[in-house]
Amino acid sequence: MPDTFASDPASTRATILIVDDVPENLEVLGELLQPLYRVRAAQNGARALQVARTRPIPDLILLDVMMPGMDGYAVFAALRADPLTRDIPVIFVTALDGLQEEEKGLEAGAVDYISKPIRPSIVLARVRNQLELKKARDRLRDQNVLLESEIARRMGENLLIQEVSIRALARLAEIRDPETGNHLRRTQAYVAVLATQLAKDPRYTRQLTSHTIDLIAKSAPLHDIGKVGIPDHILLKPGKLTPEEWVIMQTHARLGSEAIEHAEEDAERPVPFLAFAKEIARHHHERWDGSGYPDGLAGEGIPLSARLMALADVFDALISRRTYKEPFSLEQARKMISDARGSHFDPDVVDAFLVEFPRFAEIAELYGDEAGE
């Protein structure tokens, strides 16, 4: 018995696999279908699975139920278990009579059920209908793939625009303070590392999902956006600020938060990363012991995003050169952060920092101000 009844390998006709252990049945179905379709044949279940996995992959399978060894139901189960063949529609063909067998076949997932002896007009009609349905499903699948691809492309563009916009806004503050260098890149990376490490603690796992960590890191560059509202003679002053000037400098936390809040109000729907950006801008100068500003929050009353940013911001300030100070070494900064555990910083955040200190050192070197220049 030949594996195929159609001799033209380049045929664009639909391919049908017929499976039956009786050669005469294969001949009858083959002669009926061959004028319209490319027909392949198999006389047992094992051979049917081999043919079904061979290109061209069948568009439809006519599968005999009663076969020795591997019956039709076993073949069907094997087809469904293989990603290459699981979507091929199957019509059961059997001499078994009765609604119970038909129900069993349809419940198994077959698309149709034909009883023997076959009636040519019925077989051709049902084959044609199933092939048309498959074409429709394939078209819908292809359209969905294209649609998903287009959605992914547009989302990627939107995310890129969003990230560029965030960085542009952050640069508004940074461009007026030439000493900050790659501060935005470093602190953003520090925050992501801290959050990822802290998420390993069961107490924070639900709060710090991968999506939340991404949003917090994405909003981190806006932490000092309020500095655009600080007068130049204070922001750019090379020496130590007077008490009066320091009070004005501290308002940058409130100004940044209010600016982001106004942006939220203008948005047509909630923008999750803006909520974190607002928290960070307002509260990244709060201290664990309540001695920070602008609201004097303490402990877990300080939003977690701001507690992460607080450590990242201070660490980067310690290791950076300023007009009023030389940079501390990485080890000096590490000790100063550790010594402030439970006073300035959240103890859990400090513990995460100590675990990830080697990574902080790598980030500091990768985004060093000399590299930025």
pLDDT per position as a tens digit, 169-227:
666 666 666 555 588 889 999 999 999 999 999 999 999 999 999 999 988 988 988 88
Name the pLDDT band for 147 (thresholds 50, 70, 90): confident
343-347: average pLDDT: 98
Surface-to-core class of residue 234, CB atoms within 10 Å of its CB (0-12 exposed, 13-18 middle, 19+ buried): middle
Residue 157 has pLDDT above 80, yes or no: no
Q: Report helix, strand or coil for 333.
A: helix
Q: What count of Cα atoms within 13 Å lies in the side-chain half-sphere of residue 131? A: 20
In a domain, 86, yes or no: yes
As a whole number of angstroms, the distance between CA 174 and CA 180 comes to: 7
Could you give the number of structural domains in the chain?
Answer: 2
Radius of gyration of the chain from its Cα atoms, rounded to whole angstroms: 34
269's tokens:
């729907």
232 lies in the same domain as 326? yes
Report the 10 Å Cβ neighbour count for 185. 17
Angle at 20 between CA 19 and CA 22, to 5 degrees: 155
In-domain check, residue 163 = no
Least confident of 22-26, 39-43, 139-143: 139-143
Q: Same domain for 224 and 345?
A: yes
320, 329 Cβ separation under 8 angstroms:
no
- pLDDT-based confidence at residue 4 (cuts at 50, 70, 90): low
2 assigned to some structural domain: no
**Based on the domain organization, do 275 and 346 belong to the same domain?**
yes
Assess whether pLDDT exceeds 50 at residue 7: no
Shared domain check, 273 and 126: no
Which of 33-37, 92-96, 159-163, 339-343 has the lowest average pLDDT? 159-163
What is the predicted pLDDT for the residue at 373?
Answer: 39
| pLDDT surpassing 90 at residue 331 | yes
Asked whether residue 81 is assigned to any structural domain, the reply reads yes
pTM of the model: 0.59
357-366 and 347-355 helices, crossing angle to 10°: 70
283 and 191 both lie in a single domain: yes
The closest alpha carbon to 132, from 42, 67, 36, 215, belongs to: 36
Residue 65: give its domain's CATH number.
3.40.50.2300
Task: Say if residue 13's pLDDT is above 80.
Answer: yes
What is the mean pLDDT of the segment spanning 53-66?
92
Establish if 131 belongs to a structural domain: yes
How far, in Å, CA of 281 to CA of 19, rounded?
Answer: 69
216/347 same-domain check? yes
What are the φ/ψ torsions at residue 139 (nearest 5 degrees)?
-60, -45
Q: DSSP E strands: which ranges in the chain?
A: 15-19, 38-42, 60-64, 90-94, 112-115
Quick one: tokens of 351? 């513990």
Assess if residue 170 is contained within a domain. Answer: no
For residues 129 and 82, state if they share a domain: yes
What ranges make up the beta strands (E) of 246-293?
none
Buried b (16+ CB within 10 A) or exposed e, 339-365: ebbeebbbebbbbbbeebbebbeebbe
In 69-78, which positions are buried (b, 16+ CB within 10 angstroms) versus exposed (e)? ebbbbebbeb
Give CA–CA dist 124/91, Å, rounded. Answer: 12
Full domain range(s) for residue 113: 15-139
Residue 342 maps to which CATH number?
1.10.3210.10
Per-residue pLDDT tens for 288-303? 999 999 999 999 999 9
321 and 213 in a common domain: yes
**Model confidence band, residue 10 (pLDDT cutoffs 50, 70, 90):** very low
Task: Give tens-digit pLDDT for 94-112.
Answer: 876 656 666 776 777 788 8
Instruction: Looking at the structure, tell me whether residues 104 and 186 fall in a common domain.
Output: no
- Give CA–CA dist 353/193, Å, rounded: 8
| Mean pLDDT, range 27-52, rounded to an integer | 93
β-bridge pairing 112-115 and 38-42? unpaired
